[in-house]
Amino acid sequence: MLVITILPTKKERREVYMGKWLGAIVVVVILLGGLYVYSEYEKRAALQNCEITLSDVRVASIGLTGAKLEIVFRIYNPNDVTATLDRIEYELYGNGEFLGYGYIDRSVDIPARSIRYVSSEFTLDYGGALKTIWSALKRGDVDWRVKGTLHIDTPIGTLDVPFEERA
């Protein structure tokens, strides 16, 4: 009985060898990608701990037709990673009366374990709810409240952190 063994050619051995290497590279890339996504997810979860407070509401000017206010927010990042504030959208209330909507639409980096102050100009026209707080505004006797959302950019999307604060 004659047994003939056909050995793979050099080209066939090289193709098998390359296929194994390619498979190993694909597995490593998938693992690294998974680790990256997981670490970004963990960072994103940690960023939900960012704290925003209404630091101050300053009357910048009072005119015959309205007033300009400066709304100052204090943002504390207790995390080990920098948080990038994309924007803040808020509603402003004075003595319980809705006064309007405001926003900050500039990007601000808040380093790890740091505090940043950001401000927004808010224009009040003399009319509507402003009439009810006008005298209190001139005296500086207004109970300010803001309700809104802090938007933080992350590599895997924007994180929305709702808040409600008084000054």
Residues 6+ apart with CB under 8 A from 84: 107, 108, 109, 110, 152, 153, 154
Superfamily covering domain 48-166 = Immunoglobulins (2.60.40.10)
Residue 45 has what pLDDT?
Answer: 62
* DSSP assignment of 26-60: HHHHHHHHHHHHHHHHHHHHHHTT-EEEEEEEEEE
* 87, β-bridge pairs: 151
CA dist 50 to 32, 105, 112, 117, Å?
28, 18, 10, 13
- Domain borders along the chain are 48-166
Residues 6+ apart with CB under 8 A from 58: 69, 70, 72
Residue 103 has what pLDDT?
Answer: 94
**Tokens matching residue 91:** 């509603």
Residues 6+ apart with CB under 8 A from 16: 8
CA dihedral 98, 106, 52, 54 (to 10 degrees): -40
Instruction: Going residue by residue through the chain, which has 167 residues, state the pLDDT in tens, using 9 for 90 and above.
Output: 677 777 777 777 777 777 777 788 888 888 888 888 777 666 666 567 889 999 999 989 888 888 899 999 999 999 888 888 889 999 999 999 899 999 999 988 889 999 999 999 998 887 766 777 888 877 888 999 999 998 887 777 788 889 999 98
Q: Token pair 């909507």 is at which residue? A: 101
Question: pTM higher than 0.85 for the full model?
Answer: no
Residue 74 has what pLDDT?
Answer: 95
Residue 59 has what pLDDT?
Answer: 87
3-state class of 155 per DSSP? coil
* 88, β-bridge pairs: 104, 150
